[in-house]
């Protein structure tokens, strides 16, 4: 997830730069910092601060360029930003979060930006900004050489077509600090690479802590979990899947996962494809023994028992502390009562502390839910949460 820093989505035209800040004004550093903090929510205010006096320039630039998002702009915006970095390369050192449209048409411009932001920690790349509903057509990746991001901690890649998993794996050769990987709607031309890479190199391979999968096919996910060598994907602490298979990742990370979040897709024209969520070529003995937080958005009531079955009905998840679930559009309360009975075992064992339920757009009242989940309600662990609290736990 991107850090909470000021987003700068528009840069001033090079021919509209105001006069230089004055150098003959002296301010206490504490005052400068306080003024910058107070105005950091407004890019225009920060630009004005930078014009007051020279001592304001550095801190104003730090805030202005901390987060750059170019994916919502025209190609000219990225080109203008690239030209700015060429003229003032020190500005690239302030960039910590970067979001770009990156495709074969603008690769020359984008490659200049990527090579300049050596201290970036969060990167998001996609070929084209999404418009309308549905998944866009994938585009070939324009980048061939590995990313050179020595400080990179999180990266999101969407809507790309790659050659195979070996090519994909090699992109992360120069990302020693990588912790979080988010993949959305990616595909390989070949799911079976021609040759296996060298085995994991122990301490030299960055250990991924968080993996997010959105709209990913089983073959692609299995290839990543089986063939990745540059990045260790077998000691995850957090796993989020949205309309993607989960079994293989659970099976390979059963001893280390602490936080698992599962969401199914249910739009007006399609029902959740549970075969995709559950599919795997691996054995289904994927009980997550160290799991502490479980988030479930089954979309429809009949998906709940299918998802829970992956966790061996939860009875072996003896360290589970919090479960958050939505009963959105629920119209069969047999499953709700069964879930109540299932979780009661963990409550009586003394580990489960909170069951947080979001009712979404359901039409039944809170008292009815408490009666259907009477065991958890009597134990004092049942909470009915607001939409705000629910979506705060739903990964963006």
Residue 109, token pair as written in the block? 């411009």
Residues 81 and 162 in one domain: no
b/e code 216-238 from CB counts within 10 Å (16+ = b): bbbbbbbbbbebbbbbbbeebbb
Residues 254 and 396 in one domain: yes
Q: Read off the DSSP letter of residue 372.
A: H
Residues 279 and 387 in one domain: yes
| Alpha helices per DSSP H over 72-228 | 75-87, 107-116, 165-170, 218-227
Residue 319 lies in a domain: yes
Residue 290, token pair as written in the block? 């160290």
377 burial type by CB count under 10 A (0-12 exposed, 13-18 middle, 19+ buried): middle
Per-residue pLDDT, 93: 94
Tell me how far apart the alpha carbons of residues 344 and 379 are, in angstroms, rounded to a whole number.
9
Angle, helix 75-87 to helix 107-116, in steps of 10 degrees? 40
Per-residue pLDDT, 333: 66
Residues 75 and 23 in one domain: yes
> Domain with 277 in it: what CATH number?
3.40.50
From the centroid of its chain, how far is CA 248?
19
Per-residue pLDDT of the chain (396 residues; tens, 9 = 90+): 444 444 454 454 444 444 555 454 566 667 666 766 666 666 666 677 666 666 677 777 888 889 998 865 567 788 889 999 999 999 999 999 999 999 988 898 999 999 999 999 999 999 988 776 778 889 999 987 899 999 999 999 999 999 999 989 999 999 999 999 999 999 999 866 655 554 444 557 899 999 999 999 999 999 999 889 899 999 999 999 998 888 889 888 988 999 999 988 654 444 445 555 555 444 445 567 789 999 988 876 677 777 887 787 787 788 899 999 887 665 566 777 778 888 888 888 778 889 998 887 665 667 878 888 888 888 889 998 888 888 887 655
From the centroid of its chain, how far is CA 174?
21
Containing 140, the helix (H) or strand (E) segment is: strand 139-140
Containing 358, the helix (H) or strand (E) segment is: strand 354-358
From the centroid of its chain, how far is CA 78?
23
Q: Is 259:226 a contact under the CB 8 Å cutoff?
A: no
Domain boundary among 214, 233, 252: 233
41: containing domain = 1-99
Q: Read off the DSSP letter of residue 104.
A: T
Residues 285 and 318 in one domain: yes
Residues 226 and 240 in one domain: no
Residues 87 and 181 in one domain: no
CB atoms within 10 A of CB 347: 19
Containing 357, the helix (H) or strand (E) segment is: strand 354-358
Residue 108 lies in a domain: no
Strand segments (E) across 141-256: 154-158, 160-162, 180-184, 187-188, 210-214, 238-242
Q: What is the DSSP string of 50-80?
A: HHHBGGGHHHHHHHHTSEEE-TTS-HHHHHH
Single out the residue of 230, 199, 214, 310 nearest to residue 263, CA to CA: 214
Residue 317 lies in a domain: yes
Residue 40 lies in a domain: yes
Residue 113 lies in a domain: no
Residue 110 lies in a domain: no
Per-residue pLDDT, 392: 81
Per-residue pLDDT, 307: 81
Residues 212 and 256 in one domain: no
Backbone phi and psi for residue 341, each to the nearest 5 degrees, phi listed first: -65, -40
367 burial type by CB count under 10 A (0-12 exposed, 13-18 middle, 19+ buried): exposed
Total number of domains constituting the chain: 3
For the chain, the first-to-last Cα distance in angstroms comes to: 7
Under DSSP, is residue 274 helix (H, G, I), strand (E, B) or coil? helix
Domain boundary among 213, 233, 253: 233
Q: Read off the DSSP letter of residue 36.
A: H
Per-residue pLDDT, 158: 96
Contacts of 367 (CB under 8 A, 6+ apart): none
Domain boundary among 46, 71, 99: 99
Residues 241 and 347 in one domain: yes
Residue 213 lies in a domain: yes
Contacts of 97 (CB under 8 A, 6+ apart): 2, 3, 5, 66, 67, 68, 120, 121, 122, 123
Tell me how far apart the alpha carbons of residues 152 and 173 are, in angstroms, rounded to a whole number.
12
Residues 220 and 273 in one domain: no
Residues 287 and 183 in one domain: no
Residue 126 lies in a domain: no
Residues 163 and 249 in one domain: no
């Amino acid at each position: 997830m991107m850090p909470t820093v000021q987003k700068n989505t528009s840069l001033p035209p090079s021919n509209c730069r105001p006069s230089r800040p004055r150098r003959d004004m002296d301010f206490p550093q504490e005052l400068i910092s306080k003024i910058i903090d107070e105005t950091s929510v407004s890019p225009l205010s920060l630009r004005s601060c930078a014009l007051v006096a020279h001592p304001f320039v550095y801190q104003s630039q730090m805030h202005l360029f901390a987060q750059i998002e170019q994916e919502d702009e025209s190609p000219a915006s990225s080109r203008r930003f690239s030209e700015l970095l060429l003229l003032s390369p020190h500005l690239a050192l302030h960039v910590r979060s970067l979001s770009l449209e990156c495709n074969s048409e603008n690769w020359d411009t984008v490659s200049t930006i990527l090579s300049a932001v050596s201290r970036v920690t969060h990167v998001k790349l996609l070929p084209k900004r999404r418009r309308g509903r549905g998944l866009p057509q994938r585009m070939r990746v324009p980048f061939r050489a590995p990313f050179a991001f020595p400080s990179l901690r999180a990266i999101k890649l969407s809507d790309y077509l790659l050659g195979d998993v070996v090519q994909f794996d090699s992109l992360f050769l120069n990302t020693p600090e990588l912790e979080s990987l988010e993949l959305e709607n990616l595909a390989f031309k070949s799911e079976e690479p021609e040759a296996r890479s060298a085995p994991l190199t122990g301490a030299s391979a960055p250990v991924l802590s968080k993996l997010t999968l959105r709209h990913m096919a089983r073959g692609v996910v299995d290839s990543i979990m089986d063939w990745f060598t540059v990045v260790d994907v077998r000691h995850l602490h957090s796993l989020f899947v949205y309309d993607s298979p989960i079994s293989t990742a659970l099976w390979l990370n059963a001893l280390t996962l602490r936080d698992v979040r599962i969401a199914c897709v249910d739009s007006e024209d399609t029902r959740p494809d549970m075969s995709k969520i559950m599919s795997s070529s691996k054995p289904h003995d994927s009980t997550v023994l160290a799991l502490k937080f479980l988030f479930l958005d089954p979309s429809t009531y009949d998906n709940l028992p299918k998802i829970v079955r992956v966790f061996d009905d939860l009875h072996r998840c003896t360290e589970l502390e919090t479960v958050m679930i939505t009963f959105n559009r629920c119209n069969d309360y047999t499953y709700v009562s069964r879930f109540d009975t299932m979780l009661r075992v963990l409550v009586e064992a003394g580990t489960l502390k909170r069951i947080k339920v979001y009712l979404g757009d359901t039409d039944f009242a809170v008292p009815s839910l408490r009666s259907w989940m009477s065991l958890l309600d009597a134990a004092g662990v049942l909470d009915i949460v607001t939409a705000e609290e629910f979506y705060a736990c739903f990964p963006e």
